[in-house]
Amino acid sequence: MSLEEEIFKPARKSLLEQQGGREQVIRACREITSYSKKAIFTLHRADSQPELISSELISYLDAISKQLKVVNSISMQNQSLRGSIAGAVEEMVEFFTFGYYKYHGGLMSYVEFSKVVDLLMSSRPQDVVLYIMREQELPSDVETHSLEFIDQCDYLMGLFDCTGEVMRMVISSSTNNAGALEMNKTLSNYKFLMQLYKHYTVLTACYPGISINHGAFDDAPNSKSNIAFKKKLSVFQASIKKIETCLVDLLISDKEIL
């Protein structure tokens, strides 16, 4: 056997397989991101036709479920793909945490998110939607997922993006369809975001250089990931400012009506 056949051909085959797997993961992650965005858009108009909303969400989550299985099967053999997966997972976290807040009025914990992912991996999108829309509790047979490409880092970063969706929901629903003022509801949403923001600021006070890169925590001041984290925190603060402006406008409008 020649040196080429013994070393280079197997190496070439291995590299081609890795590249093929990477391309599959990238395509699957694009699908997860796309369907998560569609699901978020659906949630923003979820105040009417609940059956249609439920049907749409189930179809989107069914597609996400299939792509998650593709990502899981390939990433188990190639841990270097973690960075390519993080963005899609964050988008998925954004959808689940926003949906949970819209219907439950609270924060979906990482444990609850993990159980929801387990339902998706078990091809049970309908149970997920019923839970999100507060029509049933989580099934008792659900366990915490064991997917290596999803962890607390993704949850934390996805939660950042969820706050922007909450802000948009608050602004758009600050007056209801009848034109009545929604001061109390807007104030409640504002308090929720403020409490969450305080937790983030405590985290940054303890770890000034906090950064999350490829799903891993680090304390590296002025690194690219640290700057990205601070930028997300700045966007979060801007969302709170917008709601504060909305609250002032509502208060002034209420006084004028009185």
Distances (CA, A) of 6 to 17, 19, 210, 211: 18, 21, 46, 43
Q: What is the pLDDT of residue 257?
A: 45
Q: What is the pLDDT of residue 217?
A: 82
Q: What is the pLDDT of residue 179?
A: 46
Report the predicted TM-score, pTM, of the whole model to 2 decimal places: 0.88
Condensed to tens digits (0 to 9), the pLDDT of residues 181-223 reads 567 888 899 999 999 999 999 999 999 899 887 667 888 888 8
Place 176 in a pLDDT band, splitting at 50, 70 and 90: low
For the cut 70, the answer to whether the pLDDT of residue 146 exceeds it is: no
Condensed to tens digits (0 to 9), the pLDDT of residues 217-245 reads 888 888 888 898 999 999 999 999 999 99
Q: What is the pLDDT of residue 145?
A: 61
Which among 34, 60, 57, 63 is positioned nearest to 45, based on CA atoms? 57
Domains of the chain: 1-148 (1.20.58.190), 151-258 (1.20.58)
Place 1 in a pLDDT band, splitting at 50, 70 and 90: low
Q: What is the pLDDT of residue 258?
A: 39
Place 256 in a pLDDT band, splitting at 50, 70 and 90: very low
Condensed to tens digits (0 to 9), the pLDDT of residues 73-126 reads 887 777 677 778 888 999 999 999 999 999 999 999 999 999 999 999 999 999
Condensed to tens digits (0 to 9), the pLDDT of residues 34-60 reads 999 999 999 998 677 888 899 999 999
What's CA 87's distance to the chain center, in Å? 9
